[in-house]
Homo-oligomer: A and B are copies of this chain.
Amino acid sequence: MEREHFSKHYDAELNVIREKLLEMGGKVESMISNAMKSVVERDTPLAEQTIAFDHQINGLEMEIDEKCLEVLARRQPAARDLRFITLALKIVTDLERIGDQCTNICKRARELNAEPPLKPFIDMPRMAQAASFMVKESLDAFVRADADLAIKVCKDDQVVDDLNEQIQRELLTFMLSDPATISRAIKINYMSKCLERIADHATNISEMVIFMVKGKDIRHTIA
């Protein structure tokens, strides 16, 4: 009975970590979407709001970190749970840095919105959507301990990398044909790189999930 009581509380604590992580993931996804909207629709107030919102992401990072430490200290988890908690600790760091990337995009959006538009954004919203979906799936893979889904995310990273290359090539054409576009093109290029980094974070999370599930490290063997 005592044991059952203990285990119920323990499971509840692991669930809190799981749910808080998903909550953080959902908020990060909305940041990616709003950052992109502030770029495409030239919505500077939304950029400002999104920058301010990053505060919530930072708060969640601290909260989840503390919760993990608490469970580690009080419950002495072993094996599977231990991997789950230590991985949660690493994942929050990735999520928090995705929030930072969204903030970086919004800061550049603020600058770009003050200048005449260079061209309509076609590939970049697709890139943002792909990156955001990778973040979502990497967390799904984590909470479900689904290695196959995590492997899919790692492969999807190529799509984002390809879009980034395409955007960079297109911007280069602009810059070559009209030097007056260079300053704006560099800012757009920077935003594209931020999205690429977001996808990299999702890939990193997925690689760690594969390791958690398979119990051996293939982090550095996936091409």
Contact = CB atoms under 8 A, between A and B. Distances in A.
A120 interface: no
A189 B190 CA distance: 10
A219 B219 CA distance: 28
A21 interface: no
Interface string A46-89: 00000000010011011001001100110010110011001001
B168 A175 contact: no
Contacts of A82: 69, 72-73
Contact of A176 (B76, B179, B219): B179
Given A93-B93, A175-B182, A86 B68 contact: yes
Interface residues of A, number: 34
A107 interface: no
Contacts of A59: 220
Contact of A182 (B61, B72, B172): B172
Contacts of A168: 186
Contact of A86 (B83, B86, B179): B86
Interface of A: 55, 58-59, 61-62, 65, 68-69, 72-73, 76, 78-79, 82-83, 86, 89-90, 93, 97, 168, 172, 175-176, 179, 182-183, 186, 189, 193, 204, 217, 219-220
